[in-house]
Amino acid sequence: MLRELRKLPREQRRAFLASRDEFVAALQQSPPQFPPALRVKRVQGTDDVWELTFASNGRATFRYGPQVRPGEPHIVWLRIGTHAVLDQPAG
């Protein structure tokens, strides 16, 4: 995912980082209340891969991993790029 992040245009990278901060803040609520603009939802056809929208054609996929710190969700980022990442959301 880091390689894909580095390939994004600067504006898209900034949009992702800002959205990631909103996402992380929402995860700290119980239960999490994600901002509607992030459109966090499960990727169709998968059981454990989720997507986050960070721009009109910007998507990042992730899954919940085993807890590293008790009581805190652990996010494993998988892919980042255009809507096309959803064709192979887990890489």
CATH number at residue 38: 3.30.2310.20
What are the pLDDT digits (tens) for 50-71?
A: 999 999 999 999 999 988 888 8
The reply to whether 90 falls in a domain is no
| Measured CA distances, 70 to 24, 40, 66, 76 (Å) | 16, 23, 10, 16
The reply to whether 75 falls in a domain is yes
Domain count of the chain? Answer: 1
Write out the residue range of the structural domain in which residue 7 sits: 2-85
What's phi and psi for 87, nearest 5 deg? -65, -35
The reply to whether 60 falls in a domain is yes
What are the pLDDT digits (tens) for 11-65?
A: 999 999 999 999 999 999 888 899 999 999 999 999 999 999 999 999 999 999 9
